[in-house]
């Protein structure tokens, strides 16, 4: 087993590039976290995570209880889905889901019965800290927990670094770097103990020797809550490190760099450095599942923006339509112009508020025209390089754009397109208003598509070659058979050998006779008829042989 040396820096680093953005978090933090009402109708998508969609286990008309598994995961990288409340399944079908493609996805629709009756989930463990890591992972998997920071990667997978790797450092990501989003801060202040318990469980499951909570230094209240909580719990070994507030300091690779000075290798994982990074909300979800037996059926959502009356943080059941949450936050104001899921830098623009909240919905930004104006017309790139200054991946966005624009997909990979994290900093400072991120997404999709085409072509070529080979083999085999047959003919008796010929003919006749006999012996379906059947046959025969006018 490889042991890697990782140390937390005394003074966290500033990430490369990045932007100082107005945080706009205060408006949603004015009041403490509260519960959103459970809606009458919940739409629960089967795919709310990275990986395979779950498979529905219930049918229309089934009664379900809160916390009951309604869809199971079939693959390693997948997550089951639980009923967010008790009620009846009224439909399983395609509904609009919050996905960048805007496509529909399979959802289970549940009509709530209003009782919110819990099922026995059996997720709680008696003594978590004595439990085996594999058991903990299994429970985390069964609880349907995925990364709540936004990516939605199944957490159990990330809790399993593999036998070859030793985890030295567990990084808890509490650096909510995107403007407007405050759900992690609200959660930390309201459920500090859950967070700390979850962190402890993760540390135990991973066998991590060090734990650090990375948090932005503009969240003093959350830092204080965590400090108090850790002091109460006597967890003095868990460090809290405030990192300089810069967008995107909360990106996994960026946070790890800020805390340790280490760069996660391109195309690699933090685990390559002996580091695992989890979101703070994920930690709380683990604590709730393993200590209290609650699977992931709700999450904290920031509802904010000038387009909503009372910006706030709400604990929302998964599957609640966005419209209901906005209603719970006082409803729309006149200024509403856009509905974004996530923050204003990396969020997804929603076509309608009928889509449900899913496990990765950290924020609903109901933006006014001023907050999210329609895109400005783009002009040609002047290569001013302001994008280079702010790129946290140290890419050359202007060159990437140039090659994406020219569809030079080979060259664009020379400029490390796939190291782009789509944070949007470049587009935010571009004086030419070029939708740079859109160009990079386009190039990535095209390259993936080309890759798929290439694989398909490879497969087709292999098939073709295999077919040619097979034909060749068949041809050879045929020739061999023919050669064999010719040899057999040569060996056969000549025409003069009359006795042998007679014997052969006799044998053939014998075979024909035997066959006929066996056919005659077989029972026919008119052999054993009942008297009624015979009567009916006679009747039909009579009709046929009669005057023959019946049918005319």
Partner 1 sequence: MDFPTQSSPYLPVANNLSRLMTQVMLGLIPGALAMFWFFGWGVLFNLTIATLSAVTAEAAMLTARRRPVKATLLDGSAVLTGLLLGLALPPLAPWWMPVLGAGFAIVFAKQLYGGLGYNPFNPAMVGFVVLIISFPLQMTLWPPPLGMHTGATLGFVDTLQMVFGGTVPAGTGLDSLTMATPLDAAKTQLGLDYTWSEILARPLFGHVGGYGWEWINLAYLLGGLWLWRKRAIHWQIPGGMLSALFVVALLFYIADSDAFGSPLLHLFSGATMLGAFFIATDPVSAATTPRGRFYYGAGIGTLMYVIRTWGGYPEGLAFAVLLMNMAAPTIDYYTQPRVFGHEEQ
The binding site for partner 1 (CB under 8 A) comprises 16, 21, 102, 179, 253, 257, 263-266, 268, 323, 332, 336-340, 344-353, 367, 370-377, 379-386, 388-389, 392-396, 398-399, 415-416, 419, 422, 424, 427-433, 435, 437-438, 441
Phi, psi of 165, rounded to the nearest 5 degrees = -120, 140
Please answer whether residues 421 and 17 qualify as being in contact, where contact means their C-beta atoms are separated by less than 8 angstroms: no
Q: Smallest distance, Å, CB 469 to partner 1?
A: 43
Q: Smallest distance, Å, CB 362 to partner 1?
A: 14
CA proximity to 91, closest of 135, 45, 49: 45
Minimum CB distance to partner 1 smaller for 285 or for 357: 357
Q: Map tokens 């009664």 to a residue.
A: 63
Parallel, antiparallel, or unpaired for β 336-341 and 363-368? antiparallel
Minimum CB distance to partner 1 smaller for 207 or for 375: 375
Minimum CB distance to partner 1 smaller for 315 or for 442: 442
Minimum CB distance to partner 1 smaller for 203 or for 398: 398
Q: Smallest distance, Å, CB 391 to partner 1?
A: 9
DSSP one-letter code for 234: T
Q: Smallest distance, Å, CB 370 to partner 1?
A: 7
Minimum CB distance to partner 1 smaller for 84 or for 179: 179
Q: Smallest distance, Å, CB 78 to partner 1?
A: 26
Q: Map tokens 């683990």 to a residue.
A: 286
Minimum CB distance to partner 1 smaller for 168 or for 262: 262
Angle at 26 between CA 20 and CA 29, to 5 degrees: 135
Q: Smallest distance, Å, CB 338 to partner 1?
A: 6
Minimum CB distance to partner 1 smaller for 235 or for 337: 337
DSSP one-letter code for 124: -
Minimum CB distance to partner 1 smaller for 370 or for 520: 370
Largest CA distance in the chain: 115
Q: Smallest distance, Å, CB 126 to partner 1?
A: 42
Q: Smallest distance, Å, CB 70 to partner 1?
A: 28
What are 82's two structure tokens?
A: 């639980």
Minimum CB distance to partner 1 smaller for 196 or for 426: 426
What are 155's two structure tokens?
A: 């957490």
CA 452 to chain centre: 20
Q: Smallest distance, Å, CB 201 to partner 1?
A: 30
The whole-angstrom separation of Cα 356 and Cα 342 is 14
Minimum CB distance to partner 1 smaller for 91 or for 422: 422
**Exposure string for 276-297, b = 16+ CB within 10 A, e = fewer:** bbbbbbbbbbbbbbbbebbbbb
Minimum CB distance to partner 1 smaller for 106 or for 423: 423
Q: Smallest distance, Å, CB 105 to partner 1?
A: 17
Minimum CB distance to partner 1 smaller for 16 or for 57: 16
The whole-angstrom separation of Cα 55 and Cα 57 is 6
Task: Give Cα separations from 378 to 74, 90, 375, 403, 434 (angstroms).
Answer: 45, 47, 8, 17, 5
Q: Smallest distance, Å, CB 417 to partner 1?
A: 10
480 SS3 class: helix
Q: Smallest distance, Å, CB 244 to partner 1?
A: 17
Task: Assign residue 332 a region (left: φ > 0; alpha: ψ between -120 and 50; beta: otherwise).
Answer: beta
Q: Smallest distance, Å, CB 435 to partner 1?
A: 6
Task: Give Cα separations from 298 to 35, 105, 169, 490 (angstroms).
Answer: 10, 20, 28, 85
Please answer whether residues 61 and 88 qualify as being in contact, where contact means their C-beta atoms are separated by less than 8 angstroms: yes
Q: Map tokens 């709310």 to a residue.
A: 48
311 SS3 class: coil
Minimum CB distance to partner 1 smaller for 376 or for 529: 376
Rg (CA), the chain: 35
Neighbours of 537 (CB within 10 A): 12
Neighbours of 428 (CB within 10 A): 17
Phi, psi of 546, rounded to the nearest 5 degrees = -70, -150
Q: Smallest distance, Å, CB 79 to partner 1?
A: 25
Q: Map tokens 């209003």 to a residue.
A: 114
Who's near 501: CB < 8 A, 6+ residues apart?
493, 495
Minimum CB distance to partner 1 smaller for 230 or for 427: 427
CA 406 to chain centre: 32
Please answer whether residues 419 and 440 qualify as being in contact, where contact means their C-beta atoms are separated by less than 8 angstroms: no
């Amino acid at each position: 087993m490889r042991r890697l040396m990782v140390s937390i820096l005394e003074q966290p680093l500033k990430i490369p590039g990045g932007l100082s953005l107005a945080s706009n978090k205060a408006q949603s933090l004015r009041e403490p976290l509260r519960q959103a009402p459970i809606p009458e109708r919940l739409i629960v998508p089967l795919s709310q995570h990275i990986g395979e969609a779950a498979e529905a286990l219930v049918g229309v008309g089934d009664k379900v209880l809160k916390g009951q598994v309604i869809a199971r995961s079939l693959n390693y990288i997948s997550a089951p889905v639980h009923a967010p409340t008790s009620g009846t399944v009224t439909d399983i079908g395609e509904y609009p889901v919050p996905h960048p493609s805007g496509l529909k996805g399979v959802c289970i629709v549940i009509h709530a019965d209003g009782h919110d009756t819990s099922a026995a989930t059996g997720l709680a463990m008696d003594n978590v800290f004595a439990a085996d890591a594999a058991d903990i992972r299994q429970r985390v998997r069964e609880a349907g927990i995925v990364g709540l920071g936004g990516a939605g990667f199944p957490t159990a997978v990330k809790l399993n670094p593999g036998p070859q790797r030793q985890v030295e450092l567990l990084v808890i990501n509490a650096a909510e770097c995107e403007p407007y989003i405050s759900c992690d801060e609200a959660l930390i202040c309201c459920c500090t103990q859950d967070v700390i318990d979850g962190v402890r469980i993760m540390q135990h499951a991973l066998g991590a020797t060090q734990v650090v909570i990375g948090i932005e230094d503009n969240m003093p209240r959350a830092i204080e809550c965590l400090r108090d909580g850790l002091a109460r719990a006597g967890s003095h070994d868990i460090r809290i490190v405030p990192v300089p507030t810069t967008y995107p300091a909360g990106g996994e690779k960026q946070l790890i760099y800020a805390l340790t000075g280490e760069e996660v290798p391109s195309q690699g994982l933090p685990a390559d450095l002996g580091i695992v990074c989890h979101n703070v909300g994920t930690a709380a979800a683990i604590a709730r599942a393993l200590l209290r037996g609650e699977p992931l059926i709700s999450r904290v959502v920031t509802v904010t923006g000038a387009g909503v009356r009372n910006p706030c943080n709400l604990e929302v059941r998964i599957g609640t339509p966005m419209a209901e949450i906005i209603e719970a936050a006082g409803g729309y104001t006149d200024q509403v112009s856009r509905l974004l899921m996530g923050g204003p830098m990396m969020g997804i623009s929603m076509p309608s508020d009928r889509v449900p909240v899913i496990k990765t919905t950290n924020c609903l930004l109901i933006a006014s025209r001023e907050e999210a104006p329609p895109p400005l017309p783009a002009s040609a790139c002047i290569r001013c390089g302001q994008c280079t200054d702010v790129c946290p991946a140290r890419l050359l966005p202007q060159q990437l754009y140039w090659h994406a624009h020219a569809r030079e997909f080979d060259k664009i990979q020379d400029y490390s397109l796939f190291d782009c994290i789509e944070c949007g900093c470049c587009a935010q400072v571009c004086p030419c208003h070029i939708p740079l991120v859109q160009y990079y997404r386009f190039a990535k999709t095209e390259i993936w598509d080309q890759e798929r085409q290439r694989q398909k072509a490879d497969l087709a070529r292999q098939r073709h070659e295999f077919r040619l080979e097979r034909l060749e083999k068949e041809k050879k085999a045929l020739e061999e058979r023919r050669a064999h047959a010719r040899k057999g003919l040569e060996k056969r008796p000549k025409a003069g050998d009359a006795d042998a010929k007679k014997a052969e003919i006799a044998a053939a006749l014998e075979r024909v006779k035997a066959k006929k006999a066996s056919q005659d012996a077989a029972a026919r379906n008119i052999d054993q008829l009942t008297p009624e059947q015979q009567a009916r046959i006679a009747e039909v025969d009579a009709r046929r042989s009669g005057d023959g006018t019946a049918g005319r």
